[in-house]
Amino acid sequence: MAHFELPIHWNDHEDIAMALYEKFGNEFDEAKIYRIRFTDLLEWVLTLPNFVGTREQANEGHLEQIQAKWVYEWRDNQN
């Protein structure tokens, strides 16, 4: 049976952060995540599988939330 992934939207900050962590793993630690330029972060989000938002729907608030959730996701995986 095929696994169905729900579409991800801009306000799904936690889902986006989890997908970014899965994509990059420990390549980015907390300090590096906070230094990511929003222009880069925007491009990475737009290329995530199942992401259905558009560039025009992006705003600084979404990117800040994604960045913060990504840090939490990274912290949760440091055992």
Model pLDDT, residue 3: 58
- pLDDT tens sequence across 26-59: 999 999 999 999 999 999 999 999 999 999 999 9
Using H for helix, E for strand and C for coil, what is the string for the chain?
Answer: CCCCCCCECCCCHHHHHHHHHHHHHHHCCHHHHHCCCHHHHHHHHHCCCCECCCHHHCCHHHHHHHHHHHHHHHHHCCC
Q: Check: pTM over 0.85? Answer yes or no.
A: yes
Model pLDDT, residue 79: 76
